[in-house]
Amino acid sequence: MGELAASMGMTLQQGTMACSHPEGTSENMVCDADLYGIPNPAQYLNALFDQGKDPIDGAKIIFDTVEGGYACAARKDGVTYLLRDPVGLKPLYYCGLNFASQNVICGQPVLPGEVVQLPNSIRYRHVLEETSTDDPAEVLDMLRKTTGKQVERGSALMFSGGIDSTVLAFLTDSLLISCGLQSSQDIANAREAASILERELLEIVVSPQDIVRAIPHVCALLPEITLLNVEIGLLLFFICQEYKGTLLISGQGADELFGGYFKYERAYREGIHVNSMMKRDLENIHLGLERDHEVAEHFSKTIRYPYLNLHLIEAVLGIPAYLHFVPRRKEFLRKMATMAGIPGTLVSRPKKALQYGSGIHHIVKNHTSLLNALSGNHCQKRM
């Protein structure tokens, strides 16, 4: 069959499977996985896979059971199957019989919740389901439990002072980290919110010169160079560069879950089925996660996303739309925050998107010619 190399440390050879990380290997499986509280993910995943009456059934058992991110290659009866967690927390790509966790090696993605039989047969795809709920206390309890599993001693929460990260801050005792220009709204909001919550805050203040100098380094890491990817990538680049620990907690996914974007509110006011829009964006959120993964991996960091727990996602997708937008955007999440005991001044605070609140957007937008040049070089290197 020949050797298949992967940046996740996977190699597949004739009759054997191996991985550079012992915890990512078992007799018939290699994986890049971050499973909360599971010290040997390959053994754990392989045991679940073997419970199935066939490979597809085994994959379904994994999808229904496992919490966390994983990208796996499993061998059964001489055939290799690839599977990826249903949210897309871990990337996985393939081409022919090759597979990798970086698309510079293999370009065809395994989509979230997909099972691929090599060389190119898509056998199954898990579809996000909706479980009906209208109870903020129930969803808050789910978020509290998954946050408790994901947060570890010494972790740090990326904190902007907005409702998304404030809820997570209230549920954890992690160090808070904020990043932006000295005069940015995010730094000011995070400083005020951390003071109200009586929490330690690490401020990473960057200059316009820092941002411009970092743009080529960030672009070299990105799977695709777009204005949004560069802006978010820069923010994460500076945080990973300055933070000395290895585990970061992110509030990503809250906007898609709880109607945080203006486009959702506008659609709701216009009578459009906004839940379908939010579901579609959640099905595509893996594109942003792949960007974040590349930057974090460069610094040997791990990012976890409490809002992107599969069971939490499927519960929130079933919330009636009016509960998100009446009387204001993110109303359901704000009720959860109030139930948690978060002060009203923080519950009602409006919030700009990260790239705007940090001040990075304005700097990057003034250097689009640099981005265009880097984008051309980037495409040539990946061809």
Asked whether residue 340 carries a pLDDT value surpassing 60, the answer given is yes
Choice between 27 and 114, residue whose per-residue pLDDT is larger:
114
pLDDT for the residue numbered 9: 44
Q: So what's the architecture of 136-375 in CATH?
A: 3-Layer(aba) Sandwich (3.40)
Of 163, 184, 194, 140, nearest in space to 329 by CA:
163
Q: By the 8 A CB rule, do 164 and 333 touch?
A: yes
Q: What's the rounded mean pLDDT across residues 352-369?
A: 75
Q: By the 8 A CB rule, do 123 and 104 touch?
A: no
Q: What's the rounded mean pLDDT across residues 302-330?
A: 97
Residue found by looking up tokens 């996977």 in the block: 10
Choice between 155 and 357, residue whose per-residue pLDDT is larger:
155
pLDDT confidence of 361, banded at 50, 70, 90?
Answer: confident
Q: Report the share of the chain in percent with pLDDT over 70.
A: 89
pLDDT for the residue numbered 14: 30
Asked whether residue 156 carries a pLDDT value surpassing 70, the answer given is yes
- pTM to 2 decimals? 0.90
Return d(Cα 46, Cα 30) in angstroms, integer: 9
Q: By the 8 A CB rule, do 105 and 98 touch?
A: yes
Domains 4-125 and 136-375 share a fold: no
Domain residue ranges in the chain: 4-125, 136-375
From 3.30.420.40, 3.40.47.10, 2.40.50.360, 3.60.20.10, which CATH number describes the 4-125 domain? 3.60.20.10
